[in-house]
Amino acid sequence: MPWLFIAPITLLHLVVVVGPSVAGMYYSLTEWSGIGQAEFVGLDNFRELFFEDRNFLLALRHNLMWLAFFLTVPFVMALAVAALLAQVRIGSMAIRTAFFIPYVLPSVVVASIWRMLLDPRLGFGVALENWGIKGLAYPYLGDKNTALAAIAFVDNWHWWGFLMILFLTAMQSIPSDLYDAAKIDGANRWQEFLHVTLPGIRPTIFFMLMMTAIWSFLVFDYVWILTHGGPAGSSEMLATYLYKQAFQRFEAGYGAAIGITMSAIAGIMATIFVFFRRRGWDV
């Protein structure tokens, strides 16, 4: 009887997620267009990926750069602003609301907004020129040296406020007598932040670092919408490369191999974090 209630959703999961995941592992070992018979080729796809496919290695590099960006910039911004916001009372709720709003916007809208603002002829750079600040009108998304950074900036614009709210919520559950004790010991606000606030929200920071590490290898929306991985592959990511291989060039087997690789890297990232946690970084 109890399992009858659980069965429907479990069956749905098995069909949509678990079954295809297992099938994906098999197809990664085949040469297959997605139609007809898949031809078993062993580890050929992986050999090609890691030793011959420069586009794949480039995409992997971009995901690693993305990881480095998202493990630092949003965390520093979110921690600093949460600490500032935790001290103010008047207007605090309104400010929180404002920071949260970008997070509820769909990726297509966020991308649309920033495609306008980052435009070299009509963007914010031109507006600043009218105010006398020159040199910022630039085709950020159209230059292969800046495209990836511009996409990361846009994604972070919609993301960091949410991270900040998470940290702020965690900070508010720190018992206030810890702060009182720190004050009695003569701690200044910086020392309070370092020795009371940061340890108090460490579980939240840790968890979000881990999730960021996983997500950084799966990012698709902002890259696809803003640049399609271009110009000249300069913002190609594993997910956009998989999409192109599987759904535009009909290399289903090769695409599946990229999918496995992405998932394996994300899994390794999660494992590293769990390992450190067990080793006494405790939460």
Partner 1 sequence: MFKRKGKSNLILNYVILLLLVCLALGPILVLFFNSLKSFNDLGTNPIGLPRVVLIENYVNAWVQGEFATTLTNSLIYVVFTVAGVLVLGGMAAYSLARLDPPGDNLYLVYMLTLSTIPFWLYVIPLFIMWRNLGLLDTRAGLIIMYIAFNSPFAIFLLRSFLMSLSRDFEDAARVDGANEWQVMTRVVIPIMWPAFLTVGLVVGLGVWSEFQAALIFLQRDELMPVTTSYYNFTQRFGRDWSLTSAGAVMMIAPVLMLFLALQRQFVTGLTQGGIKL
In the bound state with partner 1, the residue whose beta carbon lies nearer, of 60 and 246, is 246
Instruction: Output the smallest distance, CB 232 to partner 1, in A.
Output: 20
- What residues from 12 to 41 belong to the interface with partner 1 (CB under 8 A)? 12-13, 15-21, 23-24, 27, 34
| Interface stretch with partner 1, choices 39-47, 49-57, 153-161, 273-281 (CB under 8 A) | 153-161
Instruction: Output the smallest distance, CB 145 to partner 1, in A.
Output: 23
Single-letter code of the amino acid located at 27: Y
166 contributes a contact to partner 1 by CB under 8 A: yes
- Rounded Cα distance between 248 and 242, Å, is 10
Length of the chain: 283
255 contributes a contact to partner 1 by CB under 8 A: yes
Q: For 207-248, give the DSSP string.
A: HHHHHHHHHTTT--HHHHHHTTT-STTTT--HHHHHHIIIII
126 contributes a contact to partner 1 by CB under 8 A: yes
- Rounded Cα distance between 182 and 49, Å, is 54
Contact of 258 with 245, CB cutoff 8 Å:
yes
In the bound state with partner 1, the residue whose beta carbon lies nearer, of 210 and 233, is 210
266 contributes a contact to partner 1 by CB under 8 A: yes
DSSP tally for the chain: helices H, then strands E? 15, 2
| Interface stretch with partner 1, choices 39-47, 48-56, 122-130, 275-283 (CB under 8 A) | 122-130
Instruction: Output the smallest distance, CB 278 to partner 1, in A.
Output: 16
263 contributes a contact to partner 1 by CB under 8 A: yes
Q: For 41-108, give the DSSP string.
A: -TTHHHHHHHHT-HHHHHHHHHHHHHHHHHHHHHHHHHHHHHHHHHH--TTHHHHHHHHHHHHHS-HH
259 contributes a contact to partner 1 by CB under 8 A: yes
In the bound state with partner 1, the residue whose beta carbon lies nearer, of 97 and 281, is 97
Quote the tokens at residue 146.
């800046």
Instruction: Output the smallest distance, CB 282 to partner 1, in A.
Output: 20
Query: Which residue among 39, 40, 68, 112 contacts partner 1 (CB under 8 A)?
Result: 112
On the 0-12 / 13-18 / 19+ scale of CB atoms within 10 A, 108 is exposed
- Rounded Cα distance between 194 and 190, Å, is 6
Instruction: Output the smallest distance, CB 161 to partner 1, in A.
Output: 6
87 contributes a contact to partner 1 by CB under 8 A: yes
Max CA distance (Å), the chain: 75
- What residues from 37 to 76 belong to the interface with partner 1 (CB under 8 A)? 70
